Structure 1
Amino acid sequence: MNIRHAEVKDAAQIAEVQVKSWQASYKELVNSNYLAEMSINERTLRWKEWLLQGPSHTVLVLEYDPKEICGFISGGRIRSDHPYDSEIYAFYLLKEVQRKGFGTKLIKKFSHHLVNQGKKSMVVWVLRDNPAKKAYISLGGKKIDEELITIGNQKLSEECYAWRDMSLILD
């Protein structure tokens, strides 16, 4: 297992992980038509743009086998009005590497990177019915907010978990 900073050339593999992860992990939560219509090509274009944003947007990838990306985490400055200074924007692992401790290693490495940049606190938004939110809770994340979002033509509840002191994730 290897965790490293993403490069623009990783965009297609990151997009593939995101789409496959959504299709496997959200099949009971998100409308099946929406999941089926997700496009790796469209996501690849968006990831190329995001990866060109530079240091304001951090993306780390997880390689299980050399050169084979099986997960990623991305984030940067907070996008909401909450009194925290950073946010996880996206965090996905392929189904076959979930529940093996890789996600915990990835979020710890990501948090360490943000702490080294002078960040102290962090939030993440997660679908309320997503069982993966247990990982955030086990790492000390506290629920601070909830809102309704629209995915496709579906309204879903999303919860915000936060860490006032990101260094606690590193322990």
Structure 2
Amino acid sequence: MFSIRKAVYEDAEDIAEIHVSSWKSTYTELLDEKDISNITYENRKTLWETILRMQKKEQCTFVIYKNDNHKIVGFVSGGPERTKRFEYDTEIYTIYLLDEFQKMGLGARLLKVFAEEMMELGYKSILVWVLKQNPSSRFYERYHASPVGEEEITLGEGTYKETAYGWENINGLLRLLK
């Protein structure tokens, strides 16, 4: 069994490990090796310590963990939509699960708790950016996210295409996640 809770500062190390591990396993085929190697445990740990120490009220990070040993196996984080290019008011900034815990419904549970939190904060819609060739885009499509735009981003020295997926109505998404 698994449970979800809000992340605390002490979770930064575990979140950083999951972030780096999932990043490398997900993007090995999609990014140039030198761009993948730019993501290190040390810089992710510092990033997550900063995020969790300074997280604002309108942002959230949740972790999902095993009940038997409290091992964190995934996380989701987000808050207000950052680009202001689309008619969406919140954004999933990151959502990752360790490989061995994927395809077990845990991603849907993280998506649901994030959507519930954003709705409770008064938000109406959600946006998420996905690298164009990322097979994880099917996860969002399964829950009826619509592609709403594309842009090029720079990661390390490489330039890559991302697709923005959106849910115009958080209530509709939550109905699908019941």
TM range (shorter): over 0.9
Distance (whole Å) between structure 2 residues aligned to residue 108 and residue 57 of structure 1? 15
Match of 1:126 in 2: 130
Match of 1:117 in 2: 121
Alignment of 1:28-39 (within 5 A): 28-39=29-40
Is it true that 1:89 corresponds to 2:96 in the alignment? no
Is it true that 1:26 corresponds to 2:27 in the alignment? yes
Secondary structure of 1:111's counterpart equals: helix
Distance (whole Å) between structure 2 residues aligned to residue 20 and residue 5 of structure 1? 21
Runs of 4+ in 1 over 4 A off after TM superposition: none
Are the equivalent residues in 2 in contact too, given 1:88–1:122 (CA < 8 A)?
yes
Secondary structure of 2:128's counterpart equals: strand
Match of 2:65 in 1: 63
TM-score normalised by L of structure 1: 0.95
Identity percentage over the alignment?
A: 35
Is it true that 1:43 corresponds to 2:44 in the alignment? yes
Deviations along 1:81-113, one digit per CA (max 9) or x if unpaired, are: 211110000111111111111101110111011
Is it true that 1:80 corresponds to 2:71 in the alignment? no
* Per-residue deviation, 1:37: 4.2
Deviations along 1:98-147, one digit per CA (max 9) or x if unpaired, are: 11111011101110111111111110000010000111111111001001
Are the equivalent residues in 1 in contact too, given 2:116–2:174 (CA < 8 A)?
yes
Are the equivalent residues in 2 in contact too, given 1:12–1:41 (CA < 8 A)?
no
- Could you tell me which runs of 5 or more consecutive residues in structure 1 were left unpaired when the two chains were aligned: none
CA RMSD of aligned residues (A): 1.2
* Per-residue deviation, 1:64: 2.6
Residue type at the aligned position of 1:10: D
* Per-residue deviation, 1:41: 1.6
Question: Which one is further off, 29-38 or 101-110?
Answer: 29-38
Question: Which one is further off, 29-38 or 4-13?
Answer: 29-38
Distance (whole Å) between structure 1 residues aligned to residue 160 and residue 89 of structure 2? 25
